[in-house]
Structure 1
Amino acid sequence: MGYGLPIYHSHCRIDENNQMFEEGREIIYVNASIQEDTALGRLMHDMFCTDSRDMHYEFLRKRVSYYKENEGGKQEMCEIWEEIKNKGKLEGLREGETIGKQAGLAEGKILGRQQGVIEERINSIKKLMRKNGYTLEEALDFLDIPKEERSTYIGIFTS
């Protein structure tokens, strides 16, 4: 799609009488392949840049440079992605628990409790590492996490 336009607005229409239907929303599409010398075109160009030095917009250039080239920014981005990944894993476990409960499996409740313990430990480990500067091993020691369970947390924090 794109209709050769850099940007276009889409509204709802009733097919039977061709009347506009105002439901309070509007969809705005941007054709990112059109990177002409306009404010929008330059922004679309910047969205596809692999090198921040090639970007037109200074604010965007500075932020991209920070996250891609600065050690603090790289670390912050890694933490953001790690959090996203962990949330996805936890969501998957919750779905499994729900399916287990729906199937009448007692294990569903047990899994739910175990998952709650894991989530709380993950949050505690993150806090210890972020606020106290603990290494992962130090945080595991501080929380008295048994040796046989540590691989679970090491996997979460290092993968």
Structure 2
Amino acid sequence: MGYGLPIYHSRYRIDENNERLDEGTEIIYVNANIQEDTALGRLMHDMFCTDPKDIHYEFLRKRVRYYKENEGGKREMCEIWEEIRRKGLLEGEAIGEARGKAIGRQDGLIEGKLIGKQQGIIVSIKKLMSKNAYTLEEALDFLDIPKEERSLYIEIFAS
């Protein structure tokens, strides 16, 4: 995006009548690729500098130098990054835990449905065998149990 502009403001509009929706929300986009010789362009240039000596703005140059070259600044930056990392880990763990619980609930529901379905089939097989004198194979055929599932029921009735 960028539309070739170094900065542009976006406000919401009502599609039906093209009136500006003046609820106070405004988005300001800055195109960091435009680093021309303006106050904003120089600031965008400075945001990409890795060497403090190349930074135009003195205040920013001093702060970057402090965090990159001063022992106290380096220590502070390490603490800041450690805090960011710690928060990221906690957030990641929380997200992972929530996803795990959701998957567990879903798997439990699926497993519960399967177990419930299997129990219903087992009851049906028993009834067919006891009331209609069906063999196990005949009951499985009558209930249209797929070949790949039959071994489960054969094993249950064999034990």
Asked if TM exceeds 0.5, the reply is yes
Counterparts of residues 98-117 of structure 1 (less than 5 Å): 98-99=98-99, 103=104
- Partner in structure 1 of residue 64 of structure 2: 64
Structure 2 residue 2 is the aligned partner of structure 1 residue 2: yes
RMSD, matched Cα: 1.6
Secondary structure of the corresponding residue to residue 92 of structure 1: helix
One-letter code of the match for 1:53? K
CA shift digits 1:10-68 (9 cap, x unpaired): 11111121111112110111111111111111111111111110111000000001111
Partner of 1:88: 88
2:25 paired residue number: 25
Q: 1:83 and 1:19, CA in 2 relative to 1: closer, same or farther beyond 3 A? A: same
Distance 2:83 2:89 in 1: 10
Q: Percent identity?
A: 77
Q: Which runs of 5+ in 2 are unaligned?
A: 106-159
* Aligned match of 2:79: 79
- TM (norm. structure 1) is 0.60
Which ranges in structure 1 are unaligned for 5 or more consecutive residues? 105-159
Q: How many residues align?
A: 104
C-alpha separation in 2, matches of 1:94 and 1:2? 36
The secondary structure found in structure 2 opposite 1:65 is helix
SS of 1:84's equivalent in the other structure is helix
Q: Does 1:54 align with 2:54?
A: yes
* Partner-residue secondary structure (3-state), 2:29: strand
- Residue by residue, what CA displacement relative to the aligned partner does 1:50-87 show, whole Å, maximum 9, x if unpaired? 11101110000000011111121111111111111111
CA deviation digits over 1:95-130, x for unaligned, max 9? Answer: 3444455546xxxxxxxxxxxxxxxxxxxxxxxxxx
Structure 1 CA distance for aligned equivalents of residues 30 and 100 of structure 2: 43
Aligned to 2:24, what secondary structure does the other structure show? Answer: coil
